[in-house]
Structure 1
Amino acid sequence: MDIADRRIATVHFTLTDADSGAPITSTRGHEPLTYMHGTGGIARGLEQALEGRSAGERFEVVVPPEDGFGPRHDALVQVLPRSMWRAATEPKVGDRLETTTAKGPLDVVVTAVAADTITVDGNHPLAGRRVRAELEVLAVRVPTADEVRFGLG
């Protein structure tokens, strides 16, 4: 059975930065990814590369930012006065925060902390990067009635 819209696919993957070769993440040594194809649950470029594949196939693909995690937007990086920090703990690099913008909620990450300022970044950590994906399709199946109705667990 091939991967197609509304089928359940189980895959192992390893993502690396396509330009530097730096590792990003991998399911190897962990549980594989199981997702419903065609629902936007994974990056568009990965979904396109998996379309029509079947169990046992292994391949690599390079996903450009526009089909992966989007372009980087400099406007989503802001240097804020440290006085805006309202948490009980001291801010540190890597802290995740949720803020509200005119377009709705936005998750940001603290990327720098200085004496008087905090720098936050609302971009996806992989925004603007080409990603190399090594993929292995483990299984493809038709979803159960509950998966169709409620999505994957």
Structure 2
Amino acid sequence: MRQVKSGDTIRVHYHGKLNDGTTFDSSEGREPLEFEVGAGMMIPGFDSGVLGMAKGEKKTLVIAAEEAYGPVQNEMFLEFPIDRFPADMKPEVGMALNMTDGQGQNFPVVIAEVKEELVILDANHPLAGKELVFDIELVEIDGDTPLIIMP
């Protein structure tokens, strides 16, 4: 039976959880996730974790933070003057916001701390610093079916 190798386009169903069992994402009720293995479309631990799998195989991947979204980076905590928030907005810890950088790119942040004159914003990926657990099922490997030519 054919096994997944780098460069294959595959489809998987997955259930992503944290160590405490909290679900952060799942393909349940949706089409399977499609991606090219080794193309950098997925976190490194997921990409390498599907190598060698066969169609219909199920497995659990435990992916360290370094092979997922990386460690929490202190330089991704930003100080923002509280007086720059809209007057009708009361900043609160845990509030999710979208910021725009100097090049016009939007990026998500979460309020980590509210001080008297400053708000500390966390621009790390929400899953940074976390070990991730994925239950996956390989649904299909593109090109897995032999080509049949009809006369």
TM-score (norm 2): 0.78
Equivalences, count:
138
Secondary structure of the residue aligned to 1:128 is: coil
| 2:28 aligned partner, one-letter code | R
Closer/same/farther in 2, CA of residues 128 and 112 from structure 1, 3 Å limit: closer
Q: Paired residue for 1:68?
A: 68
Distance change >3 Å, CA 88–CA 47, structure 1 → 2: farther
Q: What CA distance in whole angstroms lies between the structure 2 residues aligned with 1:42 and 1:59?
A: 17
Which stretch of structure 1 is more off in the superposition, 105-114 or 121-130? 105-114
Distance 1:88 1:55, change over 3 A: farther
Tell me, which stretches of 5 or more residues in structure 1 are unaligned? Answer: 143-153
State the match for 2:83 in structure 1: 83
| Structure with max Cα Rg | 2
Query: 1:95 is paired with a residue of what secondary structure?
Result: strand
1:102-127 deviation line (CA, Å, top 9, x unaligned)? xx957241325757433321111100
Q: Does 1:120 align with 2:141?
A: no
Larger % of helix: which? 1
C-alpha distance in structure 2 between counterparts of 1:95 and 1:75, whole Å = 18
What code does the residue aligned with 1:41 have?
Answer: M
Task: Check the 8 A contact 1:99/1:108 in 2, yes or no.
Answer: no
What is the rounded CA distance, in whole Å, between the counterparts of 1:112 and 1:73 in structure 2?
13
For 1:117, the aligned partner's letter is: L
1:131 counterpart letter in structure 2: L
Counterparts of 2:8 and 2:42, CA distance in 1: 14
* Shift, 1:75, TM fit: 2.2
CA deviation after TM superposition for structure 1 residue 88, in Å: 9.4
Q: 2:23 is matched with which residue?
A: 23
Provide, for residues 88-147 of structure 1, a one-character-per-residue CA deviation record: whole Å limited to 9, x for no partner.
97476112223248xx957241325757433321111100000011001000014xxxxx
Separation in 2, partners of 1:5, 1:88: 52
Unaligned segments of structure 2, at least 5 residues? 144-151
Query: What TM-score comes out, normalization by structure 1 length?
Result: 0.77
Q: Which 4+ runs in 1 deviate beyond 6 A?
A: none
| Structure 1 match to 2:98 | 96
Partner of 2:15: 14
1:121–1:112 CA distance, 2 compared to 1 (3 A): closer
Q: Is contact 1:10–1:33 with CA below 8 Å preserved after alignment?
A: yes
